[in-house]
Structure 1
Amino acid sequence: MLEGVNVALGVTGSIAAVKTVELAHELRRRGATVRGVMTDSAQGIVHPWAVEFATENDVVTEITGSVEHVDLCGYDGWADVFLIAPATANTVGKIAGAVDDTPVTTCATTALGADTPVVIAPAMHEPMYDHPGVLEAIDTVSGWGVEFVDPRLEEGKAKIASEEAIVCDVARAAGDRPLEGASVVVTSGATSESIDPVRIITNRSSGKMGRAVAKACYVRGADVTLVHDGPEVPYADVRDVESAAEMLAATRAACEDADAMVSAAAIGDYTVAESDEKIRSGQELTLDLEPTPKLIDEIRAEFPELPIVGFKTETSGDEEAMIEQARTTLERAGLAFVVANDASVMGKDRTRALLVHAGDAARYEGTKAGLGGEIAESIAAVLGADETSK
């Protein structure tokens, strides 16, 4: 996600600075090169040696005649993005007022003047975060194009955002945004049909692929709505659903304002009348299964111009058969393209897939995160072609 990206990591005097070492490691695990910048207050919480160890680079603890701020964040500076994590109320206020009395605030002013992307992850006690001056400072700095990673409001504290949220926003700030301004709806994971208050019918889909697509679209600038029965994620507006009917209703509502939709969910093909009480075990049981509506057909009928990406899972392992089935779905529903894969990849981090368009099919083998990126780029190309044809 951050391959080849240079991140200058500013650390200020919040107790959340104790998380800086792991954050630096996570940025590097995602491909970034990291150099630390620390205030005096931050050095009272985490030692510069720890940040040096985590980044494998010297840490800037003062601005000297070597003009470290310009070297890092100035015109043609080293950094592709300046990340301040954690950022105190004091630091945010100083940035808004162009006050440069720490290495971090001096780098921030330099980055803003040089048009280097800046990402800020605040962390403080909640009453400080709610102070009118702090909120005004955040609004001011946001108006300059700075990305704020919203803190988690828990236990009277505005706790620093998760590493995943920070990494996503750094990638979004540092990279190209071919989906800037686009609204993308993604369905993900399995659906479940209730047999009784205890039992369900479901499938083996983990939702990893759908979440990878949603994250990749967000990083490329899109506003993402994720419809699934799964966890809250920092890169999308989540619509929590369980059954196929709930997923269809939520997707239909989300597509009212969408520019594209990706149907990555493994939606149950059958539903059943639910028993109000638990069915006792130890007896023979016959379930009358009823087919569920095909989500992409329903969405296509209601939104005839909406670009839709479909997924087609098969078990044969025969590429030609997979392409043929994918093309049948593509033509029936008028899809932008179809991602065909084998059921054996369910729940795994790596995948093998075919991106099937009307005229060709491209093979992919690698991580689901990588495939998510390929799909997001293809969506951007489809939306770009649509805009050109208007």
Structure 2
Amino acid sequence: MLEGVNVALGVTGSIAAVKVVELAHELRRQGAAVRGVLSEGAQGIVHPWAVEFATAHEPITELTGRVEHVELCGRDGWADVLLIAPCTANTVGKIAAAVDDTPVTTTATTALGADVPVVIAPAMHEPMYDHPGVLDAIETVESWGVEFVDPRIEEGKAKIATEEAIVTETARAAADNPLDGDHVVVTSGATSEPIDPIRVLTNRASGKTGRAIARGCHVLGADVTLVHDGDDVPYADVHQVESAAEMLDAVLDAAEGGADALISAAAISDFTVDAAPEKLKSGEERTLPLTPAPKLIDAVREAHPTLPIVGFKAETAGGHEALVSEARRIQDRSDLAFVVANDASVMGDDETRVLFVRNGGYTEFTGSKTALGLQVAQELAAELGSE
């Protein structure tokens, strides 16, 4: 997600600075090179040696005649993006007023003047976050194009955002954003068909791939609607559904709202049942008549004949030839932009292997589901760009 990206990581004097080691590790796990910049307050919370260990670079703890801030974030500097995490109320106010009295604030002023993207993850007590002056400072800095990763409001504190949210926004700030201005709808995970008020008919899909795709589309600049039976995520507007019918309704609503593309990655139930109004008694033999559920991509295609749609096809048997054959069948049936075909044995795993199937042939992808999500987003961007 951050392969080849140079991240200058500014750390200020919030207690959340204790999390910077893991944050730096996660940035590097996603492919970034990281160099730390520490304020004096931050050094009282996290030792520079810990930051050096986490980044593999000696951090900047003071500015000298080497003009380290320009070396990092000047017009010809090393960094592709400046991330300040955590950022205190004090630091936000100083950045808004162009006050340069710490290595972090001076680096921020330099980055803003050099048009280096800046991402800020605030962390402070909630009353400080709600202070009118702090809110004005955030609004001012946002008006300059700085991206803020909203804190988690818990226990009277504006806690620093999750590593996933911070890394995602950093990747988005550093990307070319070929999907900027596009609204992409993504379906993800399993659906569940109620048998009675307690039991459901479902499948083993975890939703990891769909969530990774939604995240990848967000990183490339899209506004993303994620339709799934899961929690809210920081990179998409979530519509929570349970059954195949609810998912279809949510997708049709989103498409009517002006979607530019649909990526149908969910493992949608093929069958539904007539749910019993009360819990079925256990210990009895029972037959459940299964009724075929409507095919989501077919229904969306009928309602929106020109909408670009990406389909997914999972199979449990056969090699590449069988996968490609099934993928082409649904591609032709619903006029899909392309199909991502995979062996269902990878359901729930972090690693995956898929085929991107188009009319002209197919290409193979092997890697993490995070990397696959970004690859699907890039393939979609190429498809929309060629229209």
Instruction: Pick the TM interval, shorter chain.
Output: over 0.9
Q: Which moved more, 1:151-160 or 1:223-232?
A: 223-232
* 1:276 positional shift: 2.0
Show the 5 A alignment for 1:48-127.
48-127=48-127
Q: Which residue of 2 aligns with 1:350?
A: 351
Runs of 4+ in 1 over 3 A off after TM superposition: none
Q: Which residue of 2 aligns with 1:190?
A: 190
Quote the Cα distance in structure 2 between the aligned partners of 1:122 and 1:255.
Answer: 35
Q: Does 1:266 align with 2:264?
A: no
Percent identity of equivalent pairs: 70
Bigger shift: 212-221 or 370-379? 370-379
Q: Which runs of 5+ in 1 are unaligned?
A: none
**Deviations 1:269-304 (CA, angstroms, capped at 9, x unpaired):** 111111222111111111122111110011111111
Give the whole-Å Cα distance in 1 for the aligned partners of 2:21 and 2:316. Answer: 44
- 1:231 CA drift (Å): 2.8
For residue 340 of structure 1, what is the aligned residue in structure 2? Answer: 341
In the TM superposition, residue 94 of structure 1 has moved relative to its aligned partner by 0.9
**1:25 to 2:29 alignment:** no
User: 1:130 & 1:255 partners in 2: Cα distance?
Assistant: 36
Deviation digits for residues 309-356 of structure 1, max 9, x if unmatched?
A: 001112222322222221121111111111111211211122222111
TM-score, normalised relative to structure 2: 0.97
- Quote the Cα distance in structure 1 between the aligned partners of 2:339 and 2:200: 29
Measure how far apart 1:368 and its partner are.
2.1
Letter in 1 for 2:24: A
Partner of 1:171: 171
Instruction: State the SS of the aligned residue for 1:184.
Output: strand
Q: Secondary structure at the match of 1:196?
A: coil
The offset of 1:232, in angstroms, is: 2.3
Q: Which amino acid aligns with 1:301?
A: E
The 3-state SS of whatever aligns with 1:265 is: coil
Q: Deviations over 1:233-267 (max 9, x none)?
A: 22111111111111111111112221111000010
User: What is the CA RMSD across the aligned residues, in angstroms?
Assistant: 1.2
- Which residue identity is paired with 1:94? K
Deviation of 1:373 after TM superposition, in Å, equals: 2.2
CA drift at 1:182: 1.0
Q: Please list every run of 5 or more consecutive structure 2 residues that lacks an aligned counterpart in the other structure.
A: none
Q: In 1, Cα distance between the equivalents of 2:45 and 2:6?
A: 25
Q: May I ask how many residue pairs the two structures share in their alignment?
A: 386
CA–CA distance in structure 2, aligned partners of residues 59 and 384 of structure 1? 41
Q: CA separation of 1:46/1:366 partners in 2, compared to 1, >3 Å: closer, same or farther? A: closer
Q: Structure 2 matches for 1:364-379, cutoff 5 A?
A: 364-379=365-380
Q: Deviations over 1:204-245 (max 9, x none)?
A: 111111111111111111111111112322211111111111
Question: What is the alpha-carbon distance in structure 1 between the residues aligned to residue 54 and residue 341 of structure 2?
Answer: 40
In 1, Cα distance between the equivalents of 2:367 and 2:43?
41
More moved, 355-364 vs 196-205 = 355-364
How far apart are the structure 1 equivalents of 2:119 and 2:347? 35
Q: Using the alignment, how far apart are the partners of 2:274 and 2:136 within structure 1? A: 54
Letter in 2 for 1:3: E
- Cα distance in 1 for partners of 2:22, 2:213 equals 25
Aligned residue type for 1:277: E
Tell me the amino acid that sits aligned with residue 288 of structure 1: P
- Whole-Å Cα distance in 2 between the matches of residues 255 and 95 of structure 1? 40
1:54-101 CA distances to partner (integer Å, 9 max, x unpaired)?
112111111111111101111111111110000011111111111111
1:369 Cα offset (Å): 2.2
Matches of 1:259 and 1:156 in 2, distance apart? 40
Task: Report Cα offsets for 1:117-154 as digits up to 9, x if no partner.
Answer: 11000011111111122112111111111111011111
Q: Could you tell me how far apart the structure 2 residues matched to 1:151 and 1:121 are?
A: 7
Counterpart residue number, 1:321: 322
User: What TM-score do the two structures reach when normalised by structure 1?
Assistant: 0.96
Task: State the distance in 2 between where 1:77 and 1:299 align.
Answer: 48
> Partner letter of residue 306 of structure 1?
L
> Match of 1:181, SS?
coil
2:301 is equivalent to residue 292 of structure 1: no
Aligned to 1:181: 181
Letter paired with 2:45? I
